[in-house]
Amino acid sequence: MNLGFFTMPIHPLEKDWRQSLQEDREAFLLADELGFTEGYVGEHITDRAENITSCVAFLAWIAAATKQIKLGTGTINMPNTHPATVAATVAMLDHMLDGRLIFGISPGGLLSDAELFGNLDADRNAMLVEAINQVLAIWEGEAPYNIQGKYWNISTQRTSIPDIGQGVIARPLQRPHPPIVVTAVAPFSKGVSEAAARGWDPISANFLMPAWVKTHWPKYVEGCERLGRAADPANWRIAKSIFVAKDAATARAYATDPNGPYVYYYRSLFTKLKKGGRIDLFKTRRDQPDHEVTLDMICDRLIIHGTPESVADQLLAFRAEVGEFGILLYAGKDWKDRELARRSMILMAEDVMPKVNAGAPRRSRSQPFND
């Protein structure tokens, strides 16, 4: 199993934007130094807490400062941006990264963004499909373009001057295009099978209960079979909220502090998803009553914390529950305590992952984790 990084950090509203951006940047540079194989950053326009407004701009900022880590858009919310803009900026970013780019796409999950861009009541999945089809058509085709759709029309026919390059959208460095990944948040996600049938791979969200994460693999297999490709667990990415400390007391205090970054993260998500009618994502069974879904229950089930030995055990138990997967994405959080946050990433890379990959003995499921 490889170790990656995924962040759509939820920062305190009062935190200086410059500080949060610098800390988010530092987290990626640290991940690169530690040998994380890939790292993703999300984007939202209308959220003071989730305040990275452009994943392309953020990755361009850190491109030259990273050496080996593959960097991914996590994700570009396709209905909110003109496909020609996506094609052009992603192509340039792939060149800036010398082919280290992974192209992550989604229909977007923040409802205030959807309202802002006028697609709150639209079929955003259909918009996603049209947008990515047009992006790929631009990269595969030749100028002048004439690509017609329901939501966007793309043409340079009237103004093309091929001899001097006018009217041409550049292609990415990787051919035919960078690897494409999609985020999966719904149980039994149809999007996973549709993506797999097109040769793309899934990222299972860190705020989805393990029982629902497990449902993504059969859907991936289903899509791969339609395409006639092998369903390789190495291509399945799963994000998890993890905090590692040298001693159990420190880990427990930081990860469970009601005012700490981990509980703050899930409090924000719980509020948004409950308001948006998606509380089911936090349920452990489909018939679970809404009143049983509490913040304490969510944090208890979704935050892994402890010493390196305990975290390795918990991750092995998680893998036994959901099945084999290839890349564990460490989910970034606000750096309320910079040193503890950095140390957690270091311990994760240097102590936890070797234990996980060595298949360290796992406690029985009936035995509680006491760190």
Binning pLDDT at 50, 70 and 90, where does residue 371 land?
very low
- From the CB of residue 164, how many other CB atoms can be counted at a distance below 10 Å? 7
- Give the whole-angstrom CA distance, residue 161 versus residue 188: 48
Q: How far apart are CA 92 and CA 63, in angstroms?
A: 12
| 3 state DSSP class of 79 | helix
Please report which helix (H) or strand (E) contains residue 180, including its range: strand 180-184
Confidence of residue 366 (pLDDT cuts 50, 70, 90): very low
Q: Which two tokens stand for residue 162?
A: 């091929």
Look at residue 364 and tell me whether its pLDDT is greater than 90.
Answer: no
Cα–Cα nearest to 177, from 124, 265, 104: 104
Give pLDDT, residue 207.
94
Helix (H) or strand (E) holding 201: strand 201-204
Residues 83-105, mean pLDDT to the nearest whole number:
98
Amino acid 343: pLDDT: 98
Indicate the range of 94-98, 240-244, 284-288 predicted with least confidence.
Answer: 284-288
Which ranges of the chain would DSSP assign to H, the alpha helix? 17-34, 55-62, 83-96, 111-116, 124-140, 190-196, 210-213, 216-227, 248-256, 261-275, 295-302, 308-322, 338-347, 353-357
Tokens of 3: 């170790």
Q: How confident is the model at residue 218 (pLDDT cuts 50, 70, 90)?
A: very high
Q: Please give the model's pTM, rounded to 2 decimal places.
A: 0.94
Q: Measured between alpha carbons, how far is 123 from 114 in angstroms, rounded to an integer?
A: 11
Residue type (1 letter), 241: S
pLDDT tens-digit map of 116-164: 999 999 999 999 999 999 999 999 999 999 999 999 999 999 999 999 9
Task: Give the pLDDT score at 33.
Answer: 98
> Which residues are within 8 A (CB) of 368 and not within 5 positions of it... i.e. 6 or more apart?
none
> Residue 362's pLDDT is what?
45
Q: How far apart are CA 69 and CA 249, in angstroms?
A: 32
What pLDDT, on a 0 to 100 scale, did the predictor assign at position 150? 98
pLDDT at 94 (0 to 100): 98
Q: What is the tens place of the pLDDT at every residue in 260-319? A: 999 999 999 999 999 999 999 999 999 999 999 999 999 999 999 999 999 999 999 999
Find how far residue 203's CA is from the centre of its chain: 6
pLDDT at 9: 87
**pLDDT for residue 368:** 40
Q: CB neighbours of 68 closer than 8 A, spacing ≥ 6?
A: 32, 35, 100
Share of the chain above pLDDT 70, in %: 97
pLDDT band for position 369 (cuts 50, 70, 90):
very low
